[in-house]
Structure 1
Amino acid sequence: MPLQKIAAFSDGPVGGNPAGVWTGDALPPPAEMQRIAAGVGFSETAFAAPQGSGGWRVRYFSPETEVPFCGHATIALGAALARREGDGVFDLALSHARITVEGRGSGDLVQAALLSPPTRSGPLPAGLLDSLLALFGLAFGDLDPRIPPALIHGGADHAVLALRSRARLAAMHYALDAGRTLMLASGLVTVVLVVVESDQLFHTRNAFASGGVLEDPATGAATAALAGYLRDLGWPHGGAIDVVQGEDMGMRSRLRAEIGPVPGSSIRVSGTARWMRSDE
């Protein structure tokens, strides 16, 4: 099957985060997957091949490197598998975890949901916090004390900085090369900037310099990690949060994260996926 281009976590028939999806009988060599991902140019491309009885082996590549887990590419893969295999829940074997993705729908819009790897969170080292504030041109006074800076994980490692102001989020900027150096040295896949609109509604932007991408318009892995962190904080999430991302890029995306009561357990992240037009 040729490589498909699918926008995950779309806002209905528009927006979302573009992902490449490659499926075949066996995964290509890593160097070939890296070459394909670089040619596609999206923040991630998912590669999947059948494994065992009904399962799929999956690897993810950004234009510059392999990543351990990508939420939006998994949602896109769920849509592609639903079209190929029919509606259902698909077992995925990642490089460091086993998860599932569900795809249901028809035509150019599919509802898809993933169960993330386990989540965890911890404090952000003071030195790294200072470096991140400097990278984004932020001061301590810009931070929302209700959600302290932290290292968060939901299949990949991220840093989270909560801001007091939606306007400050809209003004996010940083130097890509400096961000890449800092994120790679710190083991971060992305940095999540977040603003609270209500207990269950959040606005986020996601810097992905480690993969050579300035910003992602929708990030399922980071949303899962953020939801897990809110659970760890005892945030009054009521069992689920909604995230609006990509709005400041002109690619509005919507993500929903369902949060169970067990600390560290998987987060269900869901949204709409759409096949992209040839001119996108």
Structure 2
Amino acid sequence: MNPNRDPGELADPAVQLGEVLRIAAFDDAGQGGNPAGVWIGAALPPAAEMQRLAHAVGFSETAFAAREGEGWRVRYFSPESEVPFCGHATIALGAALARAEGDGRFALQLNAAAITVEGRCEGERVQAALQSPPTRSRPAPPELAERALALFGYTREDLDPRIPPALAHGGADHLVLALNSRAALAAMAYDLEEGRAFMLGHGLVTVVLAWAEHAQLFHTRNPFASGGVYEDAATGAGTAALAGYLRDLGWPHGGAIDVIQGEDMGMRSRLKAEFGDAPGGSIRVSGTARMMPLC
């Protein structure tokens, strides 16, 4: 952030306070990506109003941000509920803040964690990176994994035995199911209401379905029925959780993995997760973002 700029002055006059911006996060060479709403204002609206706006925008998440001290207070809402952390909406927020404030790193206070997001403008696109909340993982209970497999039409034979089912956290809770073929990933299908009941009943924000093309390249899909969304095109929180689990598992990640998501939706997205070997450490998730038309 430019320290010489008046707090009420915006670097980009197209970014208006209180206006819901529409930004595609984690796009792939200017195409695809996951649309997020971003609202920046002097103070956060009441929760009911944020929920109403998120429902009206209709994207899987909308981020709401207001300046608080030296940083920003941030909350995230899906069309149907508040979520504790959303990666792609954070990347979109980083893009909006870079356009409004100038390139920099911005401190964000979430409901239950303090993180940062960086943004650097490159024409109409923005390079952005977030540092996730702390991560953790543990084996998924066998009965939970069996219920998830049945929900999505899989059996144990569809799993990659190198990456057992796990509960993983990277700011939000996810179930990770690693599949043994790209064809199995492409075949994912489920009933939205059944999926919603399953995720809400087990405290899951999404299910991360993943296939390893090789040790450092993953293809993923993220059903988000808990938020009323069949599938997300790019999921930074899910990618952080997956990366943290792979680190805990001793996977030969070499310090980073690339993730391709949204391809089966026709919204191909690219994410990069970078991380060390320290258990519980934050994950750096990066990509690009672009502004979308307002109508």
SS in 2 for 1:134: helix
Q: Using the alignment, how far apart are the partners of 1:276 and 1:205 within structure 2?
A: 23
Aligned sequence identity (%): 73
Structure-to-structure mapping, 1:60-99, within 5 angstroms: 60-99=76-115
Does residue 134 in structure 1 map to residue 150 in structure 2? yes
CA apart distance, 1:106: 3.5
Shift of 1:277: 3.0
| Corresponding residue number in structure 2 for 1:254 | 270
Q: Which structure 1 residue ranges, 5 or more long, are not aligned?
A: none
Return the alpha-carbon distance in structure 2 between the equivalents of residues 239 and 123 of structure 1. 22
Where do residues 53-64 of structure 1 align in structure 2 (5 Å cutoff)? 54-64=70-80
For residue 45 of structure 1, the aligned residue among 46, 55, 62 is: 62
| Aligned amino acid, residue 225 of structure 2 | A
- 2:47 aligns to what? 30
State the distance in 1 between where 2:147 and 2:90 align: 31
Match of 1:32, SS state, is: helix
The one-letter code sitting in structure 1 at the alignment partner of 2:231 is: E
Q: Is the CA contact (8 Å cut-off) linking 1:227 and 1:267 kept in structure 2? A: yes
The counterpart of 1:200, out of the listed 201, 206, 216, is 216
Cα distance in 1 between the residues matched to 2:109 and 2:22: 22
Following the alignment from structure 2 to structure 1, what is the Cα–Cα distance between the partners of residues 184 and 155?
11
Letter of the aligned partner of 1:131 in structure 2?
A: R
- The residue number in structure 2 matching 1:149 is 165
Q: What is the CA distance between 1:269 and its match in structure 2?
A: 0.2
How many residue pairs get aligned? The number is 278
* Aligned match for 1:14, one of 18, 31, 42: 31
Post-superposition Cα deviations, 1:119-162, rounded to whole Å, max 9, x if no partner, equal 00001111111110110010000000000000000000000100
SS at 1:266 equivalent: coil
Amino acid at match of 2:265: M
Please list the CA deviations of residues 153-203 of structure 1 after superposition, one character each: whole Å capped at 9, or x if unmatched: 000000010001101101110000000000000000000100000110000
What SS does the aligned partner of 1:183 have? helix
Q: In the TM superposition, what are the counterparts of 1:182-201 in structure 2 within 5 Å?
A: 182-201=198-217
| Alpha-carbon shift at residue 278 of structure 1 (Å) | 4.5
Q: Distance in 1 between matches of 2:90 and 2:65?
A: 10
**Which amino acid letter does the alignment assign opposite residue 63 of structure 1?**
P
Which shifted more, 102-111 or 177-186? 102-111
What TM-score, normalized by structure 1, do the two folds share?
A: 0.98
**3-state DSSP of counterpart to 1:227:** helix
After alignment, is 270-279 or 189-198 more displaced?
270-279
Structure 2: how far apart are the matches of 1:12 and 1:24? 30
Answer whether contact 1:257 1:268 (CA < 8 A) is retained: yes
**Structure 2 length-normalised TM:** 0.93
Gaps of 5+ in 2: 1-16
What CA distance in whole angstroms lies between the structure 1 residues aligned with 2:214 and 2:275? 16
SS at match of 1:182: helix
Structure 1 vs Structure 2 CA RMSD = 0.7
User: CA contact under 8 A between 1:42 and 1:62: conserved in structure 2?
Assistant: yes
The residue number in structure 1 matching 2:14 is none
Residues of 1 paired with 2:220 and 2:122: CA distance? 29
- 1:83·1:106 contact (CA, 8 Å) conserved in 2? no
Give, in whole Å, the separation in 1 of the partners of 2:184 and 2:136: 27
2:140 to 120, 124, 147: 124
SS in 2 for 1:10: coil
Q: Which residue of 2 aligns with 1:238?
A: 254
**Contact kept in structure 2, 1:205 and 1:215, CA below 8 Å:** yes
1:159 to 175, 178, 185: 175
